[in-house]
Amino acid sequence: MTKIRLGMVGGGKDAFIGAVHRIAARIDGEYDLVAGALSSTPERARESGLALGLAPDRTYGSYEEMAAQEAARPDGIRAVSIVTPNHMHAGPAMAFLQHGIHVICDKPLTATMEDAARLETAVKASKALFILTHNYTAYPMIRQAREMVASGELGKIRLIQVEYAQDWLTEDAGADNKQAGWRTDPARSGAGGAIGDIGTHAHNLACFVSGLAVESLAADLQSFVPGRQVDDNANILLRMQGGARGILWCSQVAPGCENGLRLRIFGEKGGLEWGQEDPNYLWHSPFGGAKRLLTRRGAGASAAANAVSRTPGGHPEGYLEGFANIYTEAARAIRAADSGQTPDTGLLPGIAAGMAGMRFIDAAIRSSRGNAAWVAL
Amino acid sequence: MTKIRLGMVGGGKDAFIGAVHRIAARIDGEYDLVAGALSSTPERARESGLALGLAPDRTYGSYEEMAAQEAARPDGIRAVSIVTPNHMHAGPAMAFLQHGIHVICDKPLTATMEDAARLETAVKASKALFILTHNYTAYPMIRQAREMVASGELGKIRLIQVEYAQDWLTEDAGADNKQAGWRTDPARSGAGGAIGDIGTHAHNLACFVSGLAVESLAADLQSFVPGRQVDDNANILLRMQGGARGILWCSQVAPGCENGLRLRIFGEKGGLEWGQEDPNYLWHSPFGGAKRLLTRRGAGASAAANAVSRTPGGHPEGYLEGFANIYTEAARAIRAADSGQTPDTGLLPGIAAGMAGMRFIDAAIRSSRGNAAWVAL
Amino acid sequence: MTKIRLGMVGGGKDAFIGAVHRIAARIDGEYDLVAGALSSTPERARESGLALGLAPDRTYGSYEEMAAQEAARPDGIRAVSIVTPNHMHAGPAMAFLQHGIHVICDKPLTATMEDAARLETAVKASKALFILTHNYTAYPMIRQAREMVASGELGKIRLIQVEYAQDWLTEDAGADNKQAGWRTDPARSGAGGAIGDIGTHAHNLACFVSGLAVESLAADLQSFVPGRQVDDNANILLRMQGGARGILWCSQVAPGCENGLRLRIFGEKGGLEWGQEDPNYLWHSPFGGAKRLLTRRGAGASAAANAVSRTPGGHPEGYLEGFANIYTEAARAIRAADSGQTPDTGLLPGIAAGMAGMRFIDAAIRSSRGNAAWVAL
Amino acid sequence: MTKIRLGMVGGGKDAFIGAVHRIAARIDGEYDLVAGALSSTPERARESGLALGLAPDRTYGSYEEMAAQEAARPDGIRAVSIVTPNHMHAGPAMAFLQHGIHVICDKPLTATMEDAARLETAVKASKALFILTHNYTAYPMIRQAREMVASGELGKIRLIQVEYAQDWLTEDAGADNKQAGWRTDPARSGAGGAIGDIGTHAHNLACFVSGLAVESLAADLQSFVPGRQVDDNANILLRMQGGARGILWCSQVAPGCENGLRLRIFGEKGGLEWGQEDPNYLWHSPFGGAKRLLTRRGAGASAAANAVSRTPGGHPEGYLEGFANIYTEAARAIRAADSGQTPDTGLLPGIAAGMAGMRFIDAAIRSSRGNAAWVAL
């Protein structure tokens, strides 16, 4: 099976998420990275391309150029990964979609609602696929959790507790910290800080597993670090479809929390608990029975979990494998689309998830400005 | 040293918290239970007294009778434990206080704000001590947590995450369940269900450790189980003194949670985490350093923790020992008071904590009725 | 029900285990401590008795005097706790047994095999009960583990992994450390160091839960700390009845281990895991199924566990409650014996367990001297 | 940088470890798999090659043919992965080494001591590199553990507890289980069962981290499952260089253990604990201080750990990333060797580790046959 020719926008030297996307694309051997507009600085773009072994003529200085030229090549890329800061998602995504090139885009969807709306229109107008890397949805035990909820094993869902806590922005990260720089700059990140960067993951995960949308929320956002222009903590009450209630907490100023995305979900018949830092485990508490520790590929693992798992139980998979699952499922969908079939994008996050995330950010900010008033999504 | 003669109101056969109080009073050998009005049913009161080895003439049919007669005896009780349902706290407490008998009362303070106000007046008018068994404050590692916050080890506090989750009321417990019966009956429990029974513990603990009061809250309360007249889940946003923000979640319908009282507190310089089900551990995360696992009587344990600890590290103490710490510190205060000294009640929860708890319940209910509007405490 | 009048030999000021026994005796209110020979130093004995509230005429200077006088009093003690260093177990135990006073004795049985044999004879000759405080056998989840093995839930037992690791003797504890002093002095502790102090607990627990005796062992003992006269670490291979094999590791020089008694047991159909520092949990792994976390008084707790449990699930019990279970079961047996019934001492460790422990110590030392040759017990 | 052209021997359809090697080779993008002799069955070899996208003319029916032809091609492979059952390691390894092709070989080294000796000679005679995939040594926190020991942070090492427990062979796996089939067949696996398959990993890891070799051992091996021709459990006492003592336990019949490789190491000044199933954590217990939880890329992570780490703290890496570290370090060494430099193979396991493993297996079997007599390695 020939590999899918892949390009990348963003992800030059020192970038964090670009390197993650590249490893994710490599793990299952489905992609071949052959082109890139890796930086908005031409010199840096060239150097980064060289370091990655790209051909010089496929190391572009701008995404517009890249989209046009790759579309024109007989061996042009079939898919592009967009791993730029948020404000630079919509432009490249629309450019490649217009050329019929599939887009795999980092989250959140865009920096502004306006961009999001334009991108949504572009996605709908294109035959190419648009996939948003809400990577946490592709962890095997999250897939199992979703399946257990869907099958009714927990009964009607009543409660959701989701949190995503980090500590890396506890202090002002300083001008040198590239990751912190754009994430705390509203011009590049959008109006949301923590709420956009990690709150959207928490929101997405809660909805993905529960199968329920957030109907309205009441948010209390804070910027604890002096001078910070975006929120670094958000305490949010949720009202979900069907009467379920929830709490979403995200923070980047919680010392001791590295990447603490954690989901608990409780129904009339049982509860589930999962933490991203120990992703091979899923706790299941049937009401009235002993707690069960389900492990990836263990005796209690389900078909949905096993389908996105590579190694036997006890041989831990991690963040990169979860991310790779998105790429591998995307590859399957891309191959189907390119061979004229209707691709199955069932569990892949796409434009709908992206728009839901944008509405979540927007609602949270508006609610907080209204003193935590309820805002419908 | 002679033991303190103790009486008990409530706590007859099949009672849960009465038996806990009795064990707590015995652990350090400071008390001698000699009198009781153990049930509101005279026959049951007699049987229960007999089973506990009380003298027949000190097994009373009513607390009024008990207060009067014990006060009149030369060997009368010096303290009384009140372990009745919430609506039966104020009456007995006032009766014994009036007779100069020290009161150790279960929480929450009372079932209604009116009763609370009357009791507060009575406490202020009496020379006797009034102690409220917010027992979780007396766990050694909670004492250490409080001390670490007070000493500035975490820096200025920004965030508090406190939760108290149980699952025993996930389904209607049925008419036979005595514990569930009164706790879900507003006439006996008060208007708060989970919020009064366990939410007050969470609220108290967060304030005790952080040293910060809740200034206002926005609460979303639910009664998930059909027919239930009180809340069984509460999602609450907190605004604390000094700008700290928090979330309090309490629930009695969260399958898999047995007695999940858990506190996390984050400041500018570090974070702490503690869970009641594993109470001998306290996680300390200094910002920029490795996490530290502090253990009761371990190498990192503080004087405040060691002062309320009996066994060496690794020999776990639990719920009953924590509860006993309240009784033992109360004994010290009672001995001081009875010998004419000013008792040191520094860390003992009393009428102020009780009133704060009542205001918390009241505010939560009013906020929820106002669609989670902010209510000042 | 009147309390059982209890005496104590040893356990004066600063003693560790004496205080533990006293709390254990108080927790369920079954005993009344009324007499003591609390120290071999008369002045210290007097002071300690005073501090504990004993009547001056029942604070004895020697156990011989105490045994004689208490036996002669109409209100004399019915039971005595012996909490002296190992070399002082046999003498007092025999003295009280001779007078028909029940004995509750700390472990290991004695310091020497000779003393053990004499004591065994005395126990068999007396009508009084002899109970050895192998307290770890009385933790609720250990009782459940034993019951699960006995009922065949694990199938035939193949493997036992038991360890008891501490770190407090990692360095020479110094002359001031009373606990370390006698435990590392062969004249008082016996020839075994770690092997006697904690190895016997590990051995006892493995046998108690598995229902299997150790048939032979191969032991490699070390004294890592210069100048230490007894072992401070022991690595031991076990061959058990029925073909099961095992490893027993005990150490007092393992930094980071506080009181790490831990048992794992594996059969043809499943495995169990329990750790003393988190005693309210028992892991059960049915082969081919998901792991189950059984909790004290939780949904999966058995009758055997619930019978020795006081508080609901999630309200942790600990070391002292486990120890108290021995005292409370002993009280039941003592009451039966004293009322002419045949006492049920089914699960209570007694002289047989004590002798097995002595044979274990002796075999381990002999094996190690023989370069870890197999020695039958 | 051009990729290293890689071949593979073994690893056809349904193979477990072959797929692992391929992912490991892909993760950091250093290799290009271009040739294979993927099965000893020609038809299966062809199908497997096709499925992996190999060119038909580079899908070989035998390793001899592959070695000869690849060596003759200008674009021939520079390295080969050998992922066959143990008895098929030596032949291919020698064939490729003879042609100057670097070898990356699965463990244990060979099935017999004779093969091992022949292979050792071949390795010494070849200019090509020989790397043995003791993959667990390349986990970041294991690298940190090793560094901490080497730097003296634990003081002189006294104790090592290493274990590797699994449960998948608890019952006879049946004829259909390909993995179980060869691993329990002495003709293919060698005389060691569990001891060879996983015991060698445990042995290797203990030596790698401690920097100490095993001087002698006393082993008690069992075959619990009826009809099994190799050991499925091994209880082993260790005597290490410098007076350290240890225990090694490996088992494939321990229900509830998935892939439980776990190492604890204790010195005069501190202890370390690490478990493979949660590999991003390393516990450090400085004697006299609080326990520290060191996390991969966390605040306490060392340069040695960070050097083999890809994602930030809290974004867990797992088994495949650890395995990939071997491949990536091998790539660096291969590039150096092929460019005429002296390759740095410092931390890479090679022939010496392989020989040590073989001696360990041999000694364990001989010791067990001698009733657990001490055998020097």
Please tell me the pTM assigned to this model. Answer: 0.97
Given phi > 0 = left and psi -120 to 50 = alpha, else beta, which region is D256?
A: left
Look at D269 and C246 and tell me if their CB atoms are within 8 Å: no
Mean pLDDT, residues C59-72 taken together:
97
Residue C1 has pLDDT above 80, yes or no: no
In this predicted structure, what is the pLDDT of residue A182? Answer: 86
State the count of interchain CB pairs (< 8 A) between A and C.
34
D235, D266, D286 member nearest C254 (Cβ): D266
- Name the residue of chain B whose CA is nearest to D289's CA: B299
Average pLDDT over residues C279-290: 98
pLDDT of residue B235: 98
Residue D264 C-alpha, separation from nearest chain C C-alpha, in angstroms: 9
Does residue A1 register a pLDDT over 80?
A: no
Over the stretch A188-224, which tens digit does the pLDDT of each residue have? 888 899 999 999 999 999 999 999 999 999 999 999 9
Residue C316's closest chain B neighbor by CA?
B318
CA nearest to C246 within chain D: D235
What's the pLDDT at A176?
78
C contact test, residue of B14, B252, B321 with most C CBs within 10 A? B321
Binary contact (D290, B295; C-beta < 8 A)? yes
Chain B residues near residue C29 by CB distance under 8 angstroms:
22-23, 26, 53
pLDDT band at residue C268 using 50, 70 and 90 as cut-offs: very high
Say yes or no for a CB contact (<8 Å) between B278 and C278: yes
Residues of A near B (Cβ–Cβ under 8 Å) read 154, 158-159, 161, 163, 167, 170-171, 218, 220, 222, 224, 233, 235, 237-239, 245-247, 249, 251, 253-257, 264, 266-271, 273, 283-287, 291, 371-372, 374
Chains that touch D (3 or more CB pairs under 8 A): A, B, C
- Across all residues in chain A, what is the average pLDDT? 96
Name the residue in chain B with its Cα closest to that of C15. B311
pLDDT tens, position by position, A24-80: 999 999 999 999 999 988 889 999 999 999 999 999 999 999 999 999 999 999 999
pLDDT (tens digit per residue) in A86-131: 999 999 999 999 999 999 999 999 999 999 999 999 999 999 999 9
B65, B35 in Cβ contact below 8 A? no
B289 contacts in D (CB within 8 Å)?
299-300
Q: Please tell me the predicted confidence (pLDDT) of residue A105.
A: 98
The 10s digit of each residue's pLDDT in A250-305 is 999 999 999 999 999 999 999 999 999 999 999 999 999 999 999 999 999 999 99
SS3 of residue B207 by DSSP: helix
Burial class (CB in 10 A: 0-12, 13-18, 19+), A24: buried
Task: Give every strand in the sheet of D31-37, ordered side by side.
Answer: D31-37, D4-9, D79-82, D102-105, D130-132
How far apart CA C209 and CA D115 sit, in angstroms, is 45
CB contact under 8 A, A292 and C290: yes
- D48 phi, psi to nearest 5 deg: -65, -40
| Torsion angle of C-alpha atoms A355, A357, A361, A367, degrees rounded to 10 | 90
CA distance C194 to B69: 57
Helix (H, G, I), strand (E, B) or coil at C375: strand
- Domains of chain C by start residue, with CATH: 4-128 (3.40.50.720), 139-311+357-376 (3.30.360.10)
pLDDT of residue C118: 98
Q: Which residues of chain A approach chain C closer than 8 Å at the C-beta?
A: 284, 288-295, 298-300
- Provide, as residue numbers in chain A, all residues whose Cβ is less than 8 Å from the Cβ of D311: 20, 318-320
Q: Which residue has the tokens 């709420």?
A: A195
- Measured between beta carbons, the chain B residues lying within 8 angstroms of A154 are 255
Task: Per residue of chain D (377 residues), give pLDDT as tens.
Answer: 689 999 999 999 878 899 999 999 999 999 999 999 999 888 899 999 999 999 999 999 999 999 999 999 999 999 999 999 999 999 999 999 999 999 999 999 999 999 999 999 999 999 999 999 999 999 999 999 999 999 999 999 999 999 999 999 999 987 778 788 888 888 888 889 999 999 999 999 999 999 999 999 999 999 999 999 999 999 999 999 999 999 999 999 999 999 999 999 999 999 999 999 999 999 999 999 999 999 999 999 999 999 999 999 999 999 999 999 999 999 999 999 999 999 988 899 999 999 999 999 999 999 999 999 999 99
Contact residues, chain C, for D374 at CB < 8 Å: 371-372
Chain D residues with beta carbon closer than 8 angstroms to that of B290: 284, 292-295, 298-300
Predicted confidence pLDDT, tens digits, chain B (377 residues): 689 999 999 999 878 899 999 999 999 999 999 999 999 888 899 999 999 999 999 999 999 999 999 999 999 999 999 999 999 999 999 999 999 999 999 999 999 999 999 999 999 999 999 999 999 999 999 999 999 999 999 999 999 999 999 999 999 987 778 788 888 888 888 889 999 999 999 999 999 999 999 999 999 999 999 999 999 999 999 999 999 999 999 999 999 999 999 999 999 999 999 999 999 999 999 999 999 999 999 999 999 999 999 999 999 999 999 999 999 999 999 999 999 999 988 899 999 999 999 999 999 999 999 999 999 99
DSSP letter for each residue of B44-95: HHHHHHHHTT--GGGB-S-HHHHHHHHHHSTT--SEEEE-S-GGGSHHHHHH
D293 to B290: CB separation less than 8 angstroms, yes or no: yes
Give pLDDT, residue C14: 76
State the smallest CA–CA distance between residue A211 and chain D in angstroms: 25
Radius of gyration of chain A from its Cα atoms, rounded to whole angstroms:
20
Interface test mutation site (partner A, options D321, D328, D335, max chain A beta carbons within 10 A):
D321
Interface size, chain C vs chain D, as Cβ–Cβ contacts under 8 Å: 121
ipTM value > 0.85? yes
CA distance C283 to chain D (A): 9
Q: DSSP states of C226-295 as a string?
A: TT--S-SEEEEEEEEGGG-EEEEEEES--TT-SSEEEEEEEESSEEEEEETTSTTEEEEEETTS-EEEEE
Pairwise CA distance, residues C285 & C287, whole Å: 6
- pLDDT number for residue B29: 95
Which of B281, B285, B291, B295 best tests the D interface by mutation, with the highest count of D CBs <10 A?
A: B291
- Indicate the residue of C259, C278, C320 with minimum beta-carbon distance to B317: C320
* A-to-D residue pairs, Cβ atoms closer than 8 angstroms: 107
CB contact under 8 A, C161 and D249: yes
Q: Which amino acid is at D289?
A: G
Q: What local confidence, expressed as pLDDT, does residue C42 receive?
A: 86
Q: What is the pLDDT at residue C201?
A: 98
Which site among C149, C158, C223 would you substitute to test the D interface, given the most D Cβ atoms closer than 10 Å to its Cβ? C158
Nearest chain C Cα distance for residue A162, angstroms: 22
- For residue C330, the model assigns a pLDDT of 98
Which residue of A269, A293, A296, A297 to mutate against C (max C Cβ within 10 Å)? A293
